[in-house]
Amino acid sequence: MHFCGGDSIAIIFVLFLLFFVCVAFFFLSRTPKPPFFSRARTNERTTQTMDIDEKEEEEEERQTQREDAEMTTTTTSMITTTTTTTGRGLGKSNDNNNGDDGVDQDLLILERIIATKTNNNNQKLRLLSQGAEARVFTTTFLGKPCVVKQRFKKKYRHPVLDQKLTRSRLLAECRSLMKARILGVQAPTVLFVDKPSASIFMERVEGKSLKEVLKAIAERECEGEEEEDNARTKSSANDVTTASPSSPSSSSPAHLRAVKYGREIGLIVSKLHDGNITHGDLTTSNFLVHARTDSVYIIDFGLSKTQIVGEEDIGVDLYVLERSLIAAHKSEGERVWRECLKTWKETCGKSKEAFKRYEEVRARGRKRSMVG
């Protein structure tokens, strides 16, 4: 059979092409493919690992709850025995208490803790105040006068949610108090923490709140002005030339005390903000003036933040303090606030950026009060 030159070249080209296709197919068939099932197996292993981690976390949480329940049961049984034999206790007696009143049980636990630590069964709790979140008692602990802040249970919340919220807020407050002490802030020392009753035993600061002190200063200043007016009236009746009424002197004791308190508060707030802490409730009720040293202490870190603290939080902190001072205490509050803000600007490292945010927060607050 005779082929022409063009046909032979075409046939040879086709044969070479078929040869290369066969070789390529052979090598491709030998190369391992990533099958769909292998990816499915990988995803299945990842899911199993995540399920194992979640189960371990749930098991740890159950173990913690079990230990707390055992501790509470043991403490409650000890309290019941003591109450039965001695007939003492702050809560109801065993005949009237059906176990539904969690507050009384917590009080009994606190009472037993104090009796155990002090070796004195006659120590009792005396209620100082009660708020929306906690009650504050005074007693003696480890030979020192102390304050007990106990977060009571909320019946309107789910028990599991209430337990988690109470525990997280309890630990956050303890963390803030201890961090503030490390930063050099004058705050109560934490003596003991009891998780089952959600209680913090703290050093008691003898003194009055800044709110009461500023009110007393205002009353004294008003009395002094009345005495000056009376003396001025008598002098005018006797035809004695008198000077025109003037504003209180900047060197008066009331003014000097207000300036002193403003500086101390500004320094306290500055240290907290530089240490990445915002108090959350800077009101005059949460500052105490020590009876002996006349220095300012800060209390109640129940709404504080110590983790992600931004300029907005600092601005809100300052605005709450300003409104608390000026709205409730007028002239004395304005003096304290001016000195406080001045000291905060001089000592706080975040003052430049945070002050701009404070002015924005203040503008929003004014607009809200105008609109209503």
Q: What is the pTM of this model?
A: 0.66
Q: Give me the pLDDT at residue 96, please.
A: 38
Mean pLDDT in residue range 172-189: 94
Which band of pLDDT confidence, cut at 50, 70 and 90, is reported for residue 94? very low
Q: Are 138 and 150 in contact (CB under 8 A)?
A: no
Q: Rounding to the nearest 10 degrees, give the CA dihedral for residues 226, 232, 238, 243.
A: 180
Amino acid present at 301: F
Tell me: pLDDT of 196 over 70.
Answer: yes
Q: Considering 239, 281, 294, 317, which one is annotated as catalytic?
A: 281
Average pLDDT, integer, range 10-24:
84
Instruction: Quote the tokens at residue 257.
Output: 């005390």
Start and end residues for every CATH 3.30.200.20 domain found in the chain: 102-204
Respond yes or no: is residue 294 known to be catalytic. no
Tokens matching residue 276:
């990445």
Class for domain 208-230+251-371, per CATH?
mainly alpha
What is the model's pLDDT at position 350?
87
Q: How many CA atoms lie within 13 A of 183 on its CB side?
A: 23
pLDDT at 225: 63
Q: What is the mean pLDDT of the chain?
A: 77
What does the pLDDT average to over 291-312?
Answer: 91
Share of the chain above pLDDT 70, in %: 66
DSSP per residue over 197-246, as a string?
Answer: TTEEEEE---EEEHHHHHHHHHHHHHHHHHHHHHHHHHHHHTT---PPP-
Identify the H or E element spanning 358: helix 351-371
With a cut of 80, say whether residue 26 has pLDDT above it. Answer: no
Across the range 124-138, mean pLDDT stands at: 87
174 has a pLDDT exceeding 90: yes
Q: Which long-range contacts (CB under 8 A, 24 or more apart) does 254-260 make?
A: 254/217, 254/220, 254/221, 254/224, 254/332, 255/335, 257/217, 258/214, 258/217, 258/332, 258/335, 258/336, 258/339, 259/335, 259/336, 259/339, 260/294
Residue among 125, 151, 128 nearest 139 (CA): 125
Residue corresponding to tokens 């019946």 = 155
Six token digits for residue 244 = 């025109």
* Nearest in space to 325 (alpha carbons), one of 269, 271, 368, 246: 269
pLDDT at 147: 93
Q: What is the mean pLDDT of residues 173-198?
A: 93
What pLDDT does residue 342 have?
95
Res 95: pLDDT: 39
Q: What is the pLDDT of residue 76?
A: 47
Question: What is the structure's pLDDT at 358?
Answer: 93
Contacts of 339 (CB under 8 A, 6+ apart): 258, 259, 261, 262, 263, 266
Of 114-128, 274-288, 312-326, 342-356, where does mean pLDDT reach its minimum? 114-128
Phi, psi of 295 (to 5 degrees): -100, 160
For residue 286, give the DSSP letter: G
Q: What span, in angstroms and rounded, lies between the C-alpha atoms of 32 and 29? A: 8
Taking the C-alpha atoms of residue 83 and residue 270, their distance in angstroms, rounded to an integer, is: 48
- Residue 81 pLDDT > 90: no
Buried b (16+ CB within 10 A) or exposed e, 4-15: eeeeeeeeeeee
C-alpha distances out from residue 171 to 28, 202, 234, 306, Å:
63, 14, 63, 11
For residues 177-199, give the mean pLDDT.
93
CA of 75: how far to CAs of 6, 54, 69, 142, in Å?
Answer: 106, 32, 10, 19
pLDDT at 292 over 50: yes
26 vs 256: which has the higher pLDDT: 256
Inform me whether the pLDDT recorded for 15 exceeds 90.
Answer: no
Q: Which amino acid appears at position 349 of this protein?
A: G
State mean pLDDT over 35-63.
Answer: 59
> Which band of pLDDT confidence, cut at 50, 70 and 90, is reported for residue 22?
confident
Max mean pLDDT among 73-77, 105-109, 245-249 falls in 105-109
- Confidence bin at 102 (pLDDT 50/70/90): low
pLDDT band at residue 281, thresholds of 50, 70 and 90?
very high
CATH number for region 102-204: 3.30.200.20
Domain with CATH 1.10.510.10 in the chain: 208-230+251-371
Residue 247 has which token pair? 């504003």
* pLDDT value at residue 54: 65
Structural contact between residues 328 and 321, judged by C-beta atoms closer than 8 angstroms:
no
Position 242 scores a pLDDT of: 43
